[in-house]
Structure 1
Amino acid sequence: MSDIVIDPTTPKASRLQRLRLGRGPTTVAAIAIVVLFALVALLAPLIAPYDPFAVSPRILEGPSADHLLGTDDTGKDILSQLIYGARVSLLIGLAAGLGSLVLGIVVGGIAGYVGGAVDNVLMRIAEIFQIMPAMLIALVIVAVIGRNTTLIAAAVIIALWPQSARIVRSQFLALRRAEFVDAARISGTPAWRIIALEIFPVAFAPAAVQAALDIGRGMLLEAGLSFLGLGDPSTSSWGGVLRRAQPFLTDAWWFSVPAGVCIALMVLSFNLIGDAMGRRGTQGRRAL
């Protein structure tokens, strides 16, 4: 996603409306899918038909009345694993979106408002992270510090924050010399109040768009780490299901396909939501 710059002459009241979503059918469908999976994750203990780690002698059994999505190579119920896996995927995805947003706002805000050498140093650090694939960064961090859910979430945040920082920086650079900011500065308003009350509300909207995209990216990174065997071994995850399903792709389609569909639907849904937020903001700027 390219840096988004808001016109500094735009009235603040108009800028703060940029987070509204369009009401197109794809956006509505994406939101519905996210809400559905969120409910599944919250109600997992109530709706999962089996313990996701409970083994049975019914190995690689196809979908049936007892096991709606069949069983895996150890007799575990696949539907139950996917239901509990939604918790891990959404938790890490939301942590990635929120964490990268917060880190991006702090780093990008300081770089854009202070400028000079501070800006150069912070942006060079961001560029170092950006030139490396996010999966490689997350993989190295998890391999070094450990692989429980908290550490995986931290690794994903570290891999994703630079884009948010660059977006926030671009907003601060554009707005720090805006008329309403100069007026606040001349009136003696402290720098922290200018940042918090004048610039931040304007810079937040485009950063929030990137955060929505980062949720999907975070979920994809978590699935990739689990697929490579670096997921949390104490939890059930969609990527872990896919990893165990590899030897049985041709013989047991029910083992891999549902997990792949879940990952694809969630990542696509958050991408569509982020795209809708971005398009809404662009339309708002053109209308002004």
Structure 2
Amino acid sequence: MADRPSSPTRLAIARMFGKTGIRISAAVLAVFAAVALYAPFLSSEVALVWWDERGLRLPVFSDLFNRRSYVQYYDFLFNLVALMLPLLAVGWFSFRRRWSTGRRLSWSMALIAVAFVACLVPVIPTTGGGHHAIWSYRPTVAETIVAKRERVMSADQRLFAVFPVIPHRHDATYRGAVLAKPGDVNETSGSRFVLGSDSSGHDVCARMIFGSRISLTIGLVATGLSLLIGTIIGALSGYLGGATDLILQRIVEIMMCFPTFILVLTIVAMTDRDIFIIMMVLGLTGWAGVARLVRGEFLSQAVRDYVLAAEAIGMPRWRIMFRHILPNALTPLIITATFGIAGAVTTESGLAFLGLGDPNAPSWGSLLNQGRENIDYTWLIYAPGMAVFLLVTCL
């Protein structure tokens, strides 16, 4: 007989996934997450497999940690998680009976954090006597689609290479490929543009693939920050009550008086249009609703028998709040998190559509903005528009 979910976290997740619509949405979101994680294996000029007179090589793996190819920290984090995910899955499955879901999740996050920091520490010796980190600036990988084409044109038959489905970089500007139609041939690589190109000569499909990283990163980071702030303020307000509740709720009401999108527009317009600033702004302005929800849950749970029993035995207040009450308030928080991620994705796309996003980021909103400026080139509208619609709808 199967064990029933015991912890509040597992109970909330089991209740949520008991609905067919939730399972379908989860499957679509899993596809988005897989595309974001394994984007370099789906869209890149670097070969997955390269076999010539020098032997068999896997150039894509060395390129994952080349800072010339992946400049942003979030790109490096996605690449690292993509490599660690099989090992984490094995560990998750191996300890499923001995460790709770929360403990396995905590250990997984800790391992990723340790690996991330370790890859930034310069410990690998160089020929000049110094040291460099695993993620560092190195010469560009030579095993590319352009190199293969040159060798094929020179009648060199001693080569076997396998490339990603989209053999183009998302940030490369290709000659003679401005607003190319879907199916047109790229003169540089000899491959076709699956979804055409934009007004700068970028492959739209490649930018769509790497744009999923932007949307998921902003959604998760901004929502995580707002959940953290809102949960702490709501817990203190709902459990402590009195003057603490009065002061904190006035702060919450002040935050709720400001139109969030207008506030975000103002802050982004006054600062650098960097993706990390956008994440912080969205996270620091979206916690008021979470705080009100958590406060209500804590007010409801604070009069339950298990809380009164914990207070009677002298348990510290912080432990009662975050060890006992908070797990029983997870169900509405999970729902709030999904709406928060959807809102963050929509806001970021809206900022990019208005020209206030990060100009160097392959955002879906920036593609929509180009589609607005070039209304006859419909592939600049339908592809990113459908991606935003599907992601937000499934959330």
Instruction: Report the TM-score range of the alignment, normalised by the length of the smaller protein.
Output: 0.7 to 0.9
Cα deviation 1:106-129 (Å, max 9, x = unaligned): 010111112122212222222222
CA distance in 1, matches of 2:215, 2:372: 20
Q: Which of 53, 73, 79 is the aligned partner of 2:171?
A: 53
Partner of residue 36, structure 1: 31
Deviations 1:162-189 (A, max 9, x none): 1111111001112222222112112211
From 369, 378, 387, the equivalent of 1:262 is: 387
Match of residue 324 from structure 2? 198
Structure 1 runs (4+) deviating above 3 angstroms are: 13-16, 22-25
Aligned partner of 1:18 in structure 2 is 12
Over aligned residues, Cα RMSD in angstroms?
1.8
Residue 114 and residue 146 in structure 1: after superposition, are their counterparts in 2 closer, same or farther (change >3 A)? farther
For normalisation by structure 2, the TM-score amounts to 0.62
Contact in 1 for aligned 2:8/2:330 (Cα 8 Å): no
Q: Distance in 1 between matches of 2:394 and 2:260?
A: 20
Corresponding residue of 1:4:
none
The CA distance in 1 between the partners of 2:179 and 2:369, in whole Å, is 15
Give unpaired runs (5+ residues) of structure 1: 1-12, 271-288
In structure 2, how many angstroms separate the alpha carbons of the residues matched to 1:31 and 1:15? 20
Q: Which amino acid aligns with 1:27?
A: I
| Separation in 1, partners of 2:330, 2:270 | 33
Of 214, 222, 226 in structure 2, the residue corresponding to residue 100 of structure 1 is 226
What does residue 292 of structure 2 align with?
A: 166
Q: Counterpart of 1:258 in structure 2: which amino acid?
A: A
Instruction: After superposition, give the CA deviation of every residue in 1:95-151 in whole Å (9 maximum; x if it has no partner).
Output: 122112111110101111121222122222222222333211222222234321211
The one-letter code matched in structure 2 to 1:26 is G
Aligned positions of 1:40-119 closer than 5 A: 40-48=35-43, 49=166, 50-55=168-173, 56-64=175-183, 66-119=192-245
Which residue of structure 2 aligns with residue 189 of structure 1? 315
Kindly report which structure 2 residues correspond to 1:217-236, keeping only aligned pairs within 5 A, or say none.
217-236=343-362
1:233-244 equivalent positions in 2, closer than 5 A: 233-244=359-370
Query: Contact (CA 8 Å) 1:100, 1:211: kept in 2 or not?
Result: no
Deviations 1:203-261 (A, max 9, x none): 23311220111111111111111112221222110011111221212x11111110111
Task: Assess if the C-alpha contact under 8 Å between 1:101 and 1:208 holds in 2.
Answer: no
Q: Which has the larger share of helix?
A: 1
Tell me the CA shift for residue 57 of structure 1: 1.1
Shift of 1:23: 4.0
Report how many residues are paired.
257
Q: Map Cα deviations across residues 55-77 of structure 1 (whole Å, 9 max, x no partner).
A: 23122222106011111122221
Residue by residue over 1:12-51, the C-alpha shift from the partner in whole angstroms, topping out at 9 and shown as x without a partner, is: x685522322344432221111111111111112211212
Q: Does 1:253 align with 2:378?
A: yes
Is 2:338 the partner of 1:212? Answer: yes
Cα separation, partners in 2 of 1:114 and 1:24, compared to 1, 3 Å: closer
For 2:13 and 2:255, the matched residues in 1 are separated by 28
Supply the distance in 2 between the matched residues of 1:152 and 1:262 (Cα, whole angstroms). 20
Question: What TM-score do you get using the length of structure 1 for normalisation?
Answer: 0.84
Percent identical: 34
Task: Name the CA distance, whole Å, in 2 between partners of 1:59 and 1:33.
Answer: 32
Distance 1:23-1:186 versus aligned 2 partners, 3 A rule? closer
Which structure would you say has the larger RCO, counting Cα contacts within 8 Å and 6 or more residues apart? 1
CA contact (8 A) 2:218 2:345 kept: yes
- Structure 2, unpaired ranges of 5+: 1-5, 44-165, 185-191
- Which structure is larger by alpha-carbon Rg, 1 or 2? 2
